[in-house]
Amino acid sequence: MKKMIAALSLIALSGCASLDTSSILPSFWDDNQSHSIINVYQMAVNMDCARPQKPQAQAMVNELQWFQLYSESKGFLQKDVLKLIEPMQATVKEWADKDTTSPAYCTIKKKIVIEQAKTASKAVLGRF
């Protein structure tokens, strides 16, 4: 009963009982998504610019793809986290597509990806 009251209050607070509840309700805590996003964060932190970058970047692409496929399979409430990772997917895909880069590229790209991964991790792990 209390959970029903909470859910109804949430809908009322939104101002509109829309059928698209993904715009009202956030997705909720998920162990697998949490593990996956931290994997991405760790890969970003451990990126070694002295070693071939392409396979390291591809590993991040693959992990983000895992996150995407898992979230899409999980259901309609996952739209928020799917939207969350879109910018990061674009950022790391560009990196993985490169065979060679300038000296400063890896250093700067790594900083950006770490920042994105850190923000995404906090959002994913901070859910109810």
Partner 1 sequence: MSDKLQQLSNCGHSWAEERARQALEIVQFRDAGQLTPAEAQELLQDLVATDKLEAVADNIAIKTALVEAVYVAAQFS
Site track for partner 1 across 96-115, x = CB under 8 A: -----xxxxx--xx-xx--x
Choose, by CB under 8 A, the member of 17, 46, 69, 83 that binds partner 1: 83
Per-residue buried b or exposed e for 7-19, using 16+ beta carbons within 10 Å of the residue's own CB: eeeeeeeeeeeee
Nearest-approach distance from CB 48 to partner 1, in angstroms: 19
What does the block give as tokens for 13?
């607070």
Site track for partner 1 across 21-60, x = CB under 8 A: ---xxxx---------------------------------
d(CA 76, CA 52): 38
Three-state DSSP class for residue 100? coil
